[in-house]
Amino acid sequence: MVFIKIAFIIVLLLILYQDMRYQAVSWIFFPIGFIITFYILYINNNGINLFFSLAINSFFLLFQLGVIYLFTWFRFRQRTNIFKSSFGLGDLLFLIMLIPLFSPINYIAFFLGSIVFSLIIYLILKTFKIYKKEKIPLAGFQSLFLTFVLITQFFFKFNLYNDFLIIDKLNLY
C-alpha cells in the first residue's frame, strides 16, 4: 500500500509541476490517478458505503460546478463556458479523480481546505513575484495540498475513507 501511495504522490507532484509551468496538465495523469484512488478506496473500504460516498461526492462536485456557472453568469451577464472563463478542465478532471479517495465529509473538507490553501499560496507567490501568471493553477496547488495530507496521514494514521473522526470531533452524533 505504501508503494501505491508513493506512486500517487509522484502523480500529484507531476500535476503540480505541469500546472505551474504550462497552466495545463497532460490528460494521462487523471486516469492514472483515478485508478490509483479507486484502488485505495477498494483496499480501505468495506463496500457498505461505497456507492453512497461516490454518489455524494459526485453530487457535491456537480453542485460546485453549478455555483461556478451561476457566478460566471452573474459576472458576465451572459451564458459563458466556465471552462474558458473561470475554471479549467484540468481542475474538473482533478476533482473527479479524487471522488473515490475521500468519504463525503472528508471530500468537502478537502475541497474547502485546498481552495483556501491554493488562494494563500497564490497570493504569497504573487506578492513575492515568484509566480507571474494571472490564472491560479488550482489543480497544481490542490495536488500539493493533497500531497501534504497524504504525508501527514503516514504519521498520524487518520482515515480519509470514513467520516467517523470528523463526526466524533464535531459531536454530530
Q: What is the pLDDT of residues 21-56, one digit of tens each?
A: 999 999 999 999 999 999 988 887 766 678 888 999
Domain encompassing residue 56: 2-170
pLDDT-derived band at 3 (thresholds 50, 70, 90) equals very high
Number of domains present in the structure of the chain: 1
Neighbours of 161 (CB within 10 A): 18
Reference 125, options 107, 144, 108; nearest CA is 144
pTM recorded for the entire structure:
0.90
